[in-house]
């Protein structure tokens, strides 16, 4: 277990994480120690704010080397070239190793869990009023559950430290708890936190943990626990590891528990899909541009920014070829036509010579392709060109290795190098669309495609702008499972869901062992374009990669900390 000193936590505690209009305000500090921090209410709140500030690290789209995130570790996108070993390239090539894998999931999570324990230890004596003491206790309990869930998704069962605050003189227990014990602990923390927290906040407190966030995290943990990777399937025959990496025995009732947990969020009546009837699918775009909306259950609060535009835009629009992921054709092909039919359906109306016409509106809001319109300067909204020989450096093999650039959550109004144009967006960590699809999936696995399952999935498709959005009647359980998996892929592209979904469904051996492709474009003499699908990279997947290896730097500290299977 990583030993963390209080002084390090204090140093990290007070950086700016949001705007002056948010509860994560910037604080400057001098000569702080444990006594001075927790004897002062403002500094204690700053300490808690720092624990908040890390909640989005696992889903950061530039998580690895500041270049790419889990999207580039899956069949969604190609990561940028790197001269060093990167986690995203290890997952693409199947070369994942305990010696070189990113250690942040382990180190950051345990650092923050220790910080929560420090806060809770001092909470009885912090000069808070009773209402604030109760509220911050609930927030801290949730945050501890949140960081444990990050560990659980990455590694399976991990050591639970309870309320213990280890020092350098203590013998630290490194025995991994069973998967079941971890699930029970996290969900109990969610329940305890939910009982202490309000359903919503307003004003300067907007963005704090709510009862809905606690219930949503519980639903997500239970959904994963019910899924094939963990629910009696596992990825090992080693008897000593079976209970650590999952439940040794399948139990269908786990799907019912997940469905009930998702239903509890829905029954709060506090959330809904963000809608905008101005044009098909526009609500899906607008959602991500709003700092406050009715769909976000939990978000990583940020100041006004153009972070995603800087990460993903083509070079001609201020982007970089050394950071940001480049979508694969495999992902683009997953988006249906606007009529809800797959592009492989002969009746869909798909035209290979005009491949982006009349598609699911979410495609254009997720991917930048040849002829996508983006501001090049103030007042100049112009097409992006990705054809061979394109003079601005945006073309295939020059600006992009796949023929595409990311566009998810980017703002149409951000102008390159124009100071006054940025976005107030905050990055979603849990939103109501996920709850609907979690509920649909769990209910379908529990009892088949009931009317409730249809309604939940069709609500997502309707907001997306599909016409018709209704699904065929009489679908089998298997057919509905395929529909739900498809909707999760396109709805949550570049929100890190895909990486985890294909693992918990235990299908990564198919999705992540295939040739990943791109789109090469040729500009013809008459101004038309010819589109050619080309190979980009062959991905490889080993069964060991269903879970992350515990970093070698940690297992080397104790023989009690057993490594995951295959490493």
Please state, in angstroms and rounded to a whole number, the distance separating the CA atoms of residues 404 and 208: 36
Please state, in angstroms and rounded to a whole number, the distance separating the CA atoms of residues 356 and 162: 52
Query: How sure is the predictor about 11, in pLDDT bands with cuts at 50, 70 and 90?
Result: very low
Helix, strand, or coil (residue 532): strand
For 167-219, write each residue's pLDDT tens digit: 777 778 899 999 999 999 999 999 999 999 999 998 889 999 999 999 999 99
H or E segment and range at residue 500 = helix 497-504
Q: Would you say residue 193 lies in a domain?
A: yes
Q: Identify the CATH number of the domain in which residue 131 sits.
A: 1.25.40.890
CA quadruple 226, 231, 236, 238: dihedral sign: positive
Distance of CA 57 to the CA centre of its chain: 9
Note the pLDDT of residue 565. 96
pLDDT at residue 16 is higher than 60:
no
How far are the Cα atoms of 12, 19, 218, 232, 536 from residue 148, in angstroms, in the given order?
20, 28, 12, 21, 36
Q: Would you say residue 146 lies in a domain?
A: yes
Helix, strand, or coil (residue 471): coil
Q: Would you say residue 301 lies in a domain?
A: no
Note the pLDDT of residue 30. 53
pLDDT at residue 19 is higher than 80:
no
Longest dimension (CA), the chain: 77
Helix, strand, or coil (residue 516): strand
Note the pLDDT of residue 254. 98
pLDDT at residue 401 is higher than 70:
yes
For 403-430, write each residue's pLDDT tens digit: 999 999 999 999 987 877 889 999 999 9
Q: Which candidate, 565, 530, 539, places its Cα nearest to that of 550?
A: 565
Please state, in angstroms and rounded to a whole number, the distance separating the CA atoms of residues 312 and 308: 6
Q: Would you say residue 493 lies in a domain?
A: no
Q: Which candidate, 479, 386, 454, 512, places its Cα nearest to that of 76?
A: 512
Query: How sure is the predictor about 22, in pLDDT bands with cuts at 50, 70 and 90?
Result: low
Number of domains in the chain: 1
Query: How sure is the predictor about 347, in pLDDT bands with cuts at 50, 70 and 90?
Result: very high
Show the domain range for 141.
6-62+102-197
Note the pLDDT of residue 166. 82
For 515-524, write each residue's pLDDT tens digit: 999 999 999 9
Which tops the pLDDT comparison, 346 or 15?
Answer: 346
pLDDT at residue 314 is higher than 50:
yes
Low-confidence winner among 7-16, 326-335, 437-446, 448-457 (lowest mean pLDDT): 7-16
Which residues, 6+ apart, have CB-to-CB distance to 307 below 8 Å? none
Mean pLDDT of 24-44: 76
Q: Would you say residue 311 lies in a domain?
A: no
Q: Would you say residue 132 lies in a domain?
A: yes
pLDDT at residue 20 is higher than 70:
no
What predicted TM-score, i.e. pTM, was given to this entire model? 0.94
The mean predicted confidence, pLDDT, of the chain is 93
Neighbours of 395 (CB within 10 A): 22
């Amino acid at each position: 277990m990583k030993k963390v000193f209080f002084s390090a936590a204090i140093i990290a505690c007070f950086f700016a994480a949001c705007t002056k209009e948010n509860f994560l305000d910037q604080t400057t500090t001098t000569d702080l120690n444990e006594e001075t921090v927790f004897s002062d209410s403002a500094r204690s709140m700053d300490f808690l704010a720092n624990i908040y500030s890390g909640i989005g690290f696992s889903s950061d789209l530039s998580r690895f080397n500041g270049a790419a995130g889990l999207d580039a570790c899956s069949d969604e996108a190609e990561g940028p070239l790197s001269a060093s070993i990167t986690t995203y390239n290890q997952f693409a090539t199947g070369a994942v190793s305990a010696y070189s894998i990113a250690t942040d999931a382990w180190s950051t999570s345990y650092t923050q869990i220790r910080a929560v324990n420090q806060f809770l230890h001092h909470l009885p004596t912090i000069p808070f009023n009773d209402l604030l003491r109760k509220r911050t206790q609930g927030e801290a309990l949730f945050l501890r559950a949140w960081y444990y869930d990050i560990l659980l998704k990455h590694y399976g069962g991990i050591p639970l430290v309870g309320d213990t605050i280890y020092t350098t003189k203590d013998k630290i227990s490194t025995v991994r708890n069973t998967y079941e014990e971890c699930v029970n602990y996290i969900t109990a923390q969610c329940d305890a936190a939910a009982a202490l927290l309000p359903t919503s906040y307003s004003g300067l407190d907007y963005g704090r943990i709510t009862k809905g966030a606690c219930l949503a995290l519980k639903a997500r943990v239970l959904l994963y626990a019910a899924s094939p990777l963990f629910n009696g399937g596992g990825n090992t025959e080693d008897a000593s590891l079976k209970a650590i990496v999952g439940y040794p025995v399948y139990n269908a009732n786990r799907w019912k528990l997940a469905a009930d947990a998702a239903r509890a969020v829905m029954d709060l009546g506090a959330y809904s899909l963000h809608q905008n009837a101005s044009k098909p699918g526009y609500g899906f775009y607008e959602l991500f541009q709003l700092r406050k909306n009715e769909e976000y259950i939990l978000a990583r609060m940020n100041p006004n920014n153009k972070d995603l535009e800087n990460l993903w835009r083509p070079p001609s629009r201020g982007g970089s070829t050394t950071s940001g992921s480049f979508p694969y054709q495999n992902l683009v092909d997953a988006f249906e036509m606007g009529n809800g039919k797959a592009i492989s359906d002969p009746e869909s109306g798909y035209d290979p010579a005009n491949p982006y016409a009349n598609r699911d509106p979410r495609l254009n809001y997720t991917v930048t392709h040849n002829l996508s319109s983006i501001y090049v300067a103030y007042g100049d909204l112009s097409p992006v060109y990705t054809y061979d020989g394109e003079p601005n450096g945006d073309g295939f093999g020059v600006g992009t290795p796949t023929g595409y650039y990311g566009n998810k959550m980017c703002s149409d109004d951000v102008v390159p190098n124009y100071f006054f144009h940025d976005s107030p967006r905050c990055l979603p960590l849990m939103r109501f669309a996920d709850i609907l699809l979690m509920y649909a999936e769990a209910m379908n696995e529990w009892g088949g495609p009931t009317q409730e399952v249809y309604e939940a999935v069709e609500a997502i498709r309707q907001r997306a702008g599909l016409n018709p959005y209704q699904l065929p009647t009489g679908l089998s359980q298997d057919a509905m499972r395929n529909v739900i998996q498809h909707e999760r892929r396109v709805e949550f592209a570049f929100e890190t869901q895909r990486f985890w979904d294909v693992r918990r469904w235990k299908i990564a051996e198919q999705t992540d062992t295939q040739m990943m492709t791109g789109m090469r474009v040729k500009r013809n003499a008459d101004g038309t374009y010819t589109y050619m699908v080309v190979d980009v990279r062959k991905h490889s997947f080993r069964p060991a990669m269903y879970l992350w290896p515990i970093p070698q730097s940690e297992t080397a500290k104790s023989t009690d900390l057993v490594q995951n299977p295959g490493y």
